[in-house]
Amino acid sequence: MNRGVIVIEEHLRIPADVFPMERFRDWAHSPEFPQSGRLSYIGGQVDVGVGPEEIETHNKPKVCLTVGITIWVQRRNLGEMLADRAFLVNEDADLATEPDLTFSSWDALRSGRVRYAERVKGSRRLVEVIGSPDLVVEVVSDNSVHKDTVLLVDRYWRAKISEYWLVDARGESIEFKILASGSRGYVEAPSEPDGYRGSDVLEGAFLITRDLNPVGGYRYRFLHREIS
Show the DSSP H helices in 80-208 as ranges.
Answer: 106-111, 145-146, 152-158
pLDDT tens digits along 109-137: 999 999 999 988 888 899 999 999 999 99
pLDDT category of residue 5 using cuts at 50, 70 and 90: very low
The predicted structure's pLDDT at residue 2: 42
- Distance CA(203)–CA(67), nearest Å, equals 17
Residues 6 or more apart whose CB falls under 8 angstroms from that of 16 comprise 3, 4, 5, 6
Pick the CATH number of 53-226 from 3.90.1570.10, 3.40.50.300, 3.30.1380.20, 2.30.40.10: 3.90.1570.10
Show the DSSP H helices in 77-161 as ranges.
Answer: 106-111, 145-146, 152-158
pLDDT category of residue 108 using cuts at 50, 70 and 90: very high
pLDDT tens digits along 40-75: 999 999 998 877 899 999 999 999 999 999 999 999
Dihedral in degrees, nearest 10, Cα atoms 177, 159, 115, 199: 30
pLDDT tens digits along 166-193: 999 999 999 999 999 999 999 999 999 9
3-class DSSP assignment, residue 96 = strand
**Which of 92 and 50 is assigned the larger pLDDT?**
92
pLDDT over 70 percentage in the chain: 94
Q: Does the structure show a pLDDT above 50 at 1? A: no
Q: Where in the chain is the domain with CATH 3.90.1570.10?
A: 53-226
Residues 6 or more apart whose CB falls under 8 angstroms from that of 192 comprise 198, 205
pLDDT category of residue 11 using cuts at 50, 70 and 90: low
Q: Does the structure show a pLDDT above 60 at 6? A: no
Q: Does the structure show a pLDDT above 90 at 195? A: yes
